[in-house]
Amino acid sequence: MLALEDTIVAISTPIGEGGIGIVRLSGPQARTILQSVFWPARTSRAAPASLEFESHRFYYGHVLDRESNVVVDEVLAVLMCGPRTYTRQDVAEIHCHGGIVPLRRTLELLLRCGARLAQPGEFTLRAFLNGRVDLAQAEAVLDIVQAKTELSLRVAMEQLGGRISGQVQQIRGRLLEALAHLEASLDFPEDEIPALDIAALLSEAREKIDALLAQADWGLVYRQGVRTAIVGRPNVGKSSLLNALLRTSRAIVTPIPGTTRDTLEETLNLGGIPICLVDTAGITESDGLIEKLGIERSWQALQRADLILLVIDGSEPLQAQDWAIADAARNRSVIVVVNKLDLPAAAEADAILSEVRHVHLSALTGEKLNVLEEAIVETIFSGQVQTSDVPVISNPRHSEILRRALLHVTAAQSSCEALGAADLVAVDLTSAVAALGEITGETVGEDVLETIFRSFCVGK
């Protein structure tokens, strides 16, 4: 993936039917390969034609297989000369009709003319290697593509804009300043080195790393969403609740117990938070093979969930299955949903899991549904308030690196306070600086790069 001298090509739009499909080239031969397949409009095919593309200008014409003299597609083509491109190399794009056949045939023709099929994320990797973006910004590209809500998009855009990188670079710069002072003191003990308050620099760095990590839980929620399992015994209204939250009839609802036989997943945008709702089969005793498999998956969904919505029928007395499910959900993040508020209530509905939040509603009429939505948001964030002036850390890799850097800074503080040993402080500072460099890419290895970019789609 690090062979920058290759000219790579890939389809950069989703495969399927659409108005436009884009095939993208990047590399030193992008111009030559584009010229070999593009035939300008109103030009006779009887004579050779090789258009001298003006950079960043679209041209109308056709993709032509010169060996067979067959027109593949009617297209717009553009050549963008480096370094004013996404990869800082020469980049060419061919805008075809958005069908599988014209895109595939255009791709095959470009491969035949000397391009190599791009690996996942290779375009963005080249943007990083050529200095257009740092590693944190490169990772933000994938977050933008995968954003499920406006808030998750905004967090990713802040990262792409360099807000996180700027904060990390600032912290790293202050630590480098302290490290340089310590190393100078160690290497040249006879010289008069200007005084520097190392303890103050370490304290400042620790506070800023703490502030970034304080936002990490928020960031993960915005980026990955919250997996929320809707569980309960049969016929308590789980599928009706799913439909009510989604404001659409997504799950089949009947008065017959056991209608849902398998898990059903849908994503809900709740105040900017992606909520992955998992509707489950009713948990009960059963001898039927299919129903038993569905119930087993319901238990698995409960165990994997970040948040559990335990639905009970508020119009009936609690049953043994209700208590069994409640025991499995105990000590987890759970909201008890007392459904069927539109029917006369049974007296003991609030006895189950009395220590957690209960919401009484009607999934049928939608009454008090907004109360449940508010309870979900409050439960996710536990009443915490985001600090708007601190960028949100949404990448688990960044969180792990910041925690590692914090450990080294804390150790350096301890050495500084207890012993005043400059060599020990310098060792931990070196480790902290190296760790922070992994976020922006200054100190990252090739194996880490390949792991990061392998998760990208081909063509990005």
Nearest to 308 by CA among 219, 378, 379, 369: 379
387: confidence class by pLDDT, cuts 50, 70, 90: very low
Q: How far apart are CA 370 and CA 212, in angstroms?
A: 32
Question: Per the domain annotation, does 336 fall within a domain?
Answer: yes
Return mean pLDDT, the chain. Answer: 84
Q: What angle do CA 191, 194, 195 make, to 5 degrees?
A: 120
Q: How far apart are CA 272 and CA 108, in angstroms?
A: 41
Statement to judge: residues 148 and 202 lie in one domain: yes
Q: How many CA atoms lie within 13 A of 439 on its CB side?
A: 31
Predicted local distance difference test score (pLDDT) of residue 190:
60
Predicted local distance difference test score (pLDDT) of residue 7:
96
More confident residue, 127 or 284: 127
Task: Look at 2-11, 68-77, 206-215, 265-274 and tell me which has the smallest mean pLDDT.
Answer: 265-274
Question: Per the domain annotation, does 447 fall within a domain?
Answer: no
* Identity of residue 147: A
Question: Per the domain annotation, does 81 fall within a domain?
Answer: yes
Average pLDDT over residues 87-92: 96
Average pLDDT over residues 171-178: 91
104: confidence class by pLDDT, cuts 50, 70, 90: very high
| CB 287, CB 279: distance < 8 Å | no
Statement to judge: residues 350 and 404 lie in one domain: no
**What is the distance in angstroms between the CA of the first residue and the CA of the last residue of the chain?**
13
Burial per residue of 215-233, b for 16 or more beta-carbon CB atoms within 10 angstroms, e otherwise: bbbbbbbbbbbbbbbbbbb
Statement to judge: residues 193 and 241 lie in one domain: no
Number of CB atoms found within 10 A of residue 379's CB: 19
Predicted local distance difference test score (pLDDT) of residue 81:
96
Q: What angle do CA 250, 253, 256 make, to 5 degrees?
A: 155
Decide which of 79, 106, 134 is a domain's last residue.
134
Q: What angle do CA 187, 188, 189 make, to 5 degrees?
A: 105
Q: What is the pLDDT of residues 30-86, one digit of tens each?
A: 999 999 999 998 776 555 456 789 999 999 999 999 888 899 999 999 999 999 999
More confident residue, 362 or 345: 362
Instruction: Provide the domain count of the chain.
Output: 3
**Residue 144 predicted with pLDDT over 70:** yes
Nearest to 398 by CA among 222, 120, 132, 139: 139
State pTM to two decimals: 0.77
**Residue 149 predicted with pLDDT over 90:** no
Statement to judge: residues 352 and 233 lie in one domain: yes
Average pLDDT over residues 140-165: 87
Question: Per the domain annotation, does 87 fall within a domain?
Answer: yes
Statement to judge: residues 276 and 237 lie in one domain: yes
**Residue 385 predicted with pLDDT over 50:** no
332: confidence class by pLDDT, cuts 50, 70, 90: confident
For the sheet with 8-11, list strands across it.
Answer: 38-40, 57-65, 70-80, 91-98, 18-26, 8-11, 116-117
Average pLDDT over residues 123-141: 93
Predicted local distance difference test score (pLDDT) of residue 254:
46
**Residue 450 predicted with pLDDT over 90:** no
Tokens of 180: 């340089």
Question: Per the domain annotation, does 434 fall within a domain?
Answer: yes
Write the secondary structure of 14-64 as one string of H (helix), E (strand) and C (coil). CCCCEEEEEEEEECCCHHHHHHHHEEECCCCCCCCCCCCCCCCEEEEEEEE
Statement to judge: residues 235 and 331 lie in one domain: yes
Predicted local distance difference test score (pLDDT) of residue 454:
82
Decide which of 90, 113, 134 is a domain's last residue.
134
φ and ψ at residue 345, rounded to 5 degrees: -90, 145
Statement to judge: residues 167 and 107 lie in one domain: no
Statement to judge: residues 208 and 260 lie in one domain: no
Average pLDDT over residues 138-153: 86
Question: Per the domain annotation, does 455 fall within a domain?
Answer: no
Nearest to 362 by CA among 344, 385, 339: 339
User: Could you list the residue range(s) of the whole structural domain that residue 205 is in?
Assistant: 138-215+391-440
Statement to judge: residues 163 and 52 lie in one domain: no
Average pLDDT over residues 280-303: 68
261: confidence class by pLDDT, cuts 50, 70, 90: very low
Q: What is the pLDDT of residues 234-250, one digit of tens each?
A: 888 888 898 888 887 65
Question: Per the domain annotation, does 306 fall within a domain?
Answer: yes
Average pLDDT over residues 252-266: 56
* Identity of residue 100: I
Predicted local distance difference test score (pLDDT) of residue 291:
59
**Residue 384 predicted with pLDDT over 90:** no
* Identity of residue 393: I
Q: How far apart are CA 57 and CA 71, in angstroms?
A: 22
Predicted local distance difference test score (pLDDT) of residue 142:
87
Tokens of 278: 């998992």
Q: How far is CA 63 from the centre of its chain?
A: 36
Tokens of 299: 């238990």
Statement to judge: residues 354 and 425 lie in one domain: no
Decide which of 358, 381, 404 is a domain's last residue.
381
Predicted local distance difference test score (pLDDT) of residue 259:
47
Question: Per the domain annotation, does 457 fall within a domain?
Answer: no
Statement to judge: residues 377 and 238 lie in one domain: yes
- Residue the block writes with tokens 């009839």: 249
214: confidence class by pLDDT, cuts 50, 70, 90: confident
